[in-house]
Amino acid sequence: MDQTTKEAGKTMAIISYVTLIGTIIAYFSNQGDKKNEFVSFHIGQAVRIWILLFVLTIVVNILVFVTSIGALGYLSYIPFVLAVLGAINANSLKAEPVPVIGTIGG
């Protein structure tokens, strides 16, 4: 991936981390002849983070209900931290996977 490809896709790569709607917008904007490899990489990372968010929310809610340890609810913030790290990587024009889940399924 060359520098011009990264520069051209920087904005959409960052948008893919903002919300689930941002990920969907980035996905559909990156179709056809406008396909950008840098944006595709970051969309994949964002999708992994959203899947983690949904799974982790369910697991944490079950654990809090069963154990009555409310502090376990703070685990739900992990995906948001990963999204910030991904957006920082996109802004820095790096194609590095996010920690822990960045290489799963890819």
Domain count along the chain? 1
pTM to 2 decimals?
A: 0.90
What would the mean pLDDT of 2-19 be, rounded to a whole number? 93
The pLDDT assigned to 51 comes to 95
Q: Report the candidate in 8, 14, 11, 6 with the shortest Cα–Cα distance to residue 87.
A: 14
Mean pLDDT over the full length of the chain: 93
Distances (CA, A) of 53 to 29, 30, 37, 48, 58: 23, 23, 25, 9, 9
Residue 96 lies in a domain: no
Residue 103 lies in a domain: no
Residue 99 lies in a domain: no
Containing structural domain, residue 85: 3-91
Residue 20 lies in a domain: yes
Residue 35 lies in a domain: yes
Per residue in 49-59, pLDDT (tens digit) is 999 999 999 99
The pLDDT assigned to 106 comes to 66
Residue 104 lies in a domain: no
Residue 28 lies in a domain: yes
